[in-house]
Chain A
Amino acid sequence: MSRRIATTGSATALADALTAEYAAIWAYGPVGVRLSGAEREAAVEAEAAHRARRDALVVQLSTGGGSVPPDRPGYAMPFPVTDRASALRLAVQVEERTAAFWRATLPVSTGAERDRALAALVEYAVRATRWRRSAEITPLTVPFPGRPG
């Protein structure tokens, strides 16, 4: 595989991850307002993590000369968030989905870029497990975090 193809694949995967981060940040809006106490704090912390990765991706893609996909005014949600239970379920899905997009960047990344992708995959998988515990979803884990079903 030529270096150029690898770079293009990386840019595409990173652009997809950026779109996933936009959606995650957007989703934590309705999630956060349905939670309280420690769970709301966890949602704020999670949203901050997604914002940090979004910002890093925007910088990385724009300095690399790649196209930066724009954020959208809104994102379709898999189900309405009407209460704590649905907020927690959405939080689980958000983390598992974004983990999957970072996993998809692994085969097209090397060195420090791969380290960052791996850190994101692991962090979001662990966060999904924490949300599963809050939502009392069992089991708390999945066998292959980030793997497409």
Chain B
Amino acid sequence: MVLTCPVAMGRTTRQDVSSELSRRGLLRAGVLLALGGAAAPLAGCGLLDRDGQPPQPDPLAPLLNESLQLAAGLRATVDVHPDLADRLLPLAESHEAHAAELARLTGVATAPATPTVSPSGSPTAGPTDRSAAMAALRESERVGRESALQACAAAPAERVALLGSVAAARATHVEALR
């Protein structure tokens, strides 16, 4: 009985492919907003922050940022190793889908106000050795899995299902990169 329910295998993936361009555009816009947002507190300093309390970033902002970094790292590796595109691009698209959902959940205004490219996920400095590149991606996914697990454990009920899926997805990425 349980097994007769429809399974959404592949369906979301096709949607992701078809909406990839628009979502990437959306994410870039989000990144620009986030970067622009970093300057806003400076401009408004002394006008709004009278009690010296900066606005609290959403607790999920680092996770959203991490999704974008993981996607960027995967796409950068595809740039160096185009033959890995079939394996890596679906993973990048998943991270971008996570980022879009997390942005929706947290609101664009609370998007991370830090640069989205860290030294570990630099899109321009991926290892040129293929197996080293794969190992680096696997390690990034493993770290990402742990942070998503922690976020899920600490999240309020209305966020926990999405965060569980993000953690599970990152865990499957570790497996898929073997």
Q: Which residues of A contact B (CB under 8 A)?
A: 19-20, 22-23, 27, 72, 75-78, 90, 92-94, 96-97, 99, 101, 103-104, 106-108, 114-115, 117-118, 121-122, 125-126, 128-130, 133, 137-149
Residues A147 and B165 in contact in the complex (CB < 8 Å), given A114-B153, A125-B172: yes
Residues of B within 8 A of A144 (CB): 12, 94, 97-98, 101, 162, 165-166, 169
Q: Identify A76's interface contact among B4, B10, B157, CB under 8 A.
A: B4
Residues of A within 8 A of B145 (CB): 122
> Shortest CB–CB separation between residue B177 and chain A, in angstroms?
9
Taking a contact as CB atoms under 8 Å apart, the answer to whether A125 and B157 are in contact is: no
Which residues, 90 to 122 on B, are CB-close (under 8 Å) to A?
90-91, 93-94, 97-98, 101
Taking a contact as CB atoms under 8 Å apart, the answer to whether A23 and B173 are in contact is: no
14 A-B residue pairings within 8 Å (CB atoms): A78-B4, A103-B168, A121-B167, A121-B168, A125-B171, A126-B171, A129-B172, A133-B176, A141-B91, A144-B165, A144-B169, A145-B165, A149-B6, A149-B12
> Shortest CB–CB separation between residue B148 and chain A, in angstroms?
9
> How many residues from B make CB contacts under 8 Å with A?
44
Q: Identify A107's interface contact among B3, B7, B157, CB under 8 A.
A: B157
Nearest B residue (CB) for A104: B161
When chains A and B are docked, how far (Å) is the Cα of A144 from the Cα of B97? 9
Taking a contact as CB atoms under 8 Å apart, the answer to whether B13 and A140 are in contact is: no
> Shortest CB–CB separation between residue A149 and chain B, in angstroms?
2
When chains A and B are docked, how far (Å) is the Cα of A141 from the Cα of B97? 13
When chains A and B are docked, how far (Å) is the Cα of A25 from the Cα of B174? 26
Taking a contact as CB atoms under 8 Å apart, the answer to whether B9 and A78 are in contact is: no
